[in-house]
Amino acid sequence: MAPCDRSFGWVVGPTYDLADKVFRECSYLAARRIQNHVISIKDGEKRILLRNLAGGVSEIKAKSADNPTSLLGEGLDWTIVDEAARLKPAIWESHLSQRLIDKRGWALLISTPRGKGLFYDLYRRGQSDDPDYESWNAPSWVNPHLDRDLIERERDRLPDRVFRQEFGGEFVEGAGQVFRNVRECATGDWQEPVTQTTYYAGLDLAKTEDYTVLIIVNRDREVVFMDRFHRIDWEQQVQRIIAATERYRVQSMVVDSTGKGEPVFEALRRAGARATAYPFTARSKAALVDNLSLMLEKKIITLPKPSLAPELIDELESFQYSTTDSGNIRTGAPSGYHDDAAIALALAAWELRESKPQCTVASVPIMIYSSEGWH
């Protein structure tokens, strides 16, 4: 609304879902608080035109950072980035900050901290003597609109490092992350099948919005193969999965058979796959995640290099603790993100868990009675 002939800016979310959420809030506030200044609100284009205080036109567009090509070309007067701690550094450095140079524009980055990455570095510049940067921090308990007693109850429910990050607004290394040492374990390469090696697979199924992901590991806990795809019919998915598991002679494939995955699991069994169902409940998922978390903590699993499987590495690093509306602690991807590859890896790693019971073959004497007596 600042007086000028023309103003053009973006409100950016790390994913389309988050960008859409921010746009809806902007649209609601424009229509409710400054409706006399609204020229148009175009939901399909994620675009709002306003008449500013000088009579000029100001334009707001919502943008998603998960489509970098849409962030090219235009000079900006300003940009606001929501959940900035989830922004990939390359997006800020090579796309958003570059758009501000021509018009000497400004940026406002808003976020709950998430470890010590780009957002932390920018925050520290605001705490230094750099005249171009300012930064602020406010824990939840100083907000007069929040109930201090409810916040203190969350302190008892959450791990300390998670509470300090989510409610204290602190930059805590690894806070909220379920899986640690991800980059340290990501040193491997894809491998062709070896005859003398035993292979295990994990399969997380999806059909439309999410991804179907198949991950194969060998007996040395090395990820040797990954296939990730979506928007493919179930029949084609089954054929693609069978082809990969037969090539590696997979001994056992653990499949998320919950909900839509159940008919595909049955189709895989009929096609000859050595598939084992793993229905998801709160308890079974926790056991699955804990097992993979322990392997990464101990560094006894080898992941592919980040350049080979960027989606897998990103999902593992984004996988986090959160609190449900009912107050229970859950694990999974943040809103707007995927966790299919992380779950597929956890399913594959389940067959290689250290506490897995071992079968023992024993000789047992059996007495048989016939017409000739006992033998």
Q: Are residues 196 and 341 in the same domain?
A: yes
The answer to whether residue 367 is domain-embedded is no
What pTM did the predictor assign?
0.57
Per-residue pLDDT tens over the stretch 103-154: 999 999 999 888 777 898 899 899 988 899 999 999 999 999 999 999 988 8
AA letter at 172:
V
Q: What digits encode the pLDDT tens for the residues 47-61? A: 999 999 999 999 999
pLDDT class of 361 with cuts at 50, 70, 90: very low
* pLDDT tops 50 at residue 314: yes
pLDDT of residue 36: 93
Q: Which among 111, 141, 169 is the end of a domain?
A: 111
Residue 230 falls within a domain, yes or no? yes
pLDDT at position 166 is: 85
Which domain does 15 fall in, by range? Answer: 6-111
pLDDT band with cut points at 50, 70 and 90 for residue 186: very high
What is the pLDDT, as a whole number, of residue 242?
Answer: 92
Residues 62 and 196 in one domain: no
* CATH number for 25: 3.40.50.300
Could you tell me if 311 and 200 lie in one domain?
Answer: yes
pLDDT reading at 368 higher than 70: no
Nearest CA to 23 out of 35, 41, 39 is that of: 41
Kindly report the three-state secondary structure assignment for every residue of 103-130: CCCEEEEECCCCCCCHHHHHHHHHHCCC
pLDDT in tens, 14-42: 888 888 888 999 999 999 999 999 999 99
Half-sphere CA count of 351, side-chain side, radius 13 A: 29
Q: What is the pLDDT of residue 259?
A: 64
The DSSP call for residue 65 is T
Number of domains in the chain: 2
Do the domain assignments include residue 322? yes
The most confident of the ranges 85-94, 182-191, 223-232 is 182-191
User: pLDDT tier at 175 (50, 70, 90 boundaries)?
Assistant: low
Q: How far is CA 44 from the centre of its chain?
A: 26
Instruction: Mark whether 236 and 344 lie in a shared domain.
Output: yes
Domain end, chosen from 88, 111, 134, is at 111
pLDDT value of residue 359: 45
CA–CA gap between residue 189 and residue 346 (Å, rounded): 19
Q: Supply the pLDDT for residue 324.
A: 53
- In this prediction, residue 360 has a pLDDT band, given cuts at 50, 70 and 90, of very low
pLDDT score of 94: 87
Average pLDDT over residues 232-260: 86
Q: Which residues, 6+ apart, have CB-to-CB distance to 268 below 8 Å?
A: 203, 238, 241, 242, 253, 255, 275
Helix (H, G, I), strand (E, B) or coil at 269: helix
Q: What is the mean pLDDT of residues 75-81?
A: 94
- Arithmetic mean of pLDDT over the chain: 86
Q: What is the pLDDT of residue 248?
A: 95
Task: Quickly tell me which residue has 């900006």 as its tokens.
Answer: 76
Average pLDDT of span 280-284 = 85
Please identify, among 48, 79, 111, the residue that sits at the C-terminal boundary of a domain. Answer: 111
Contact 246, 274 (CB under 8 A): no
Identify the CATH number of the domain in which residue 319 sits. 3.30.420.240
pLDDT average, residue stretch 310-338: 73
H/E element, 144: none
Residue 118 included in any domain: no
Is the same domain home to 203 and 300? yes
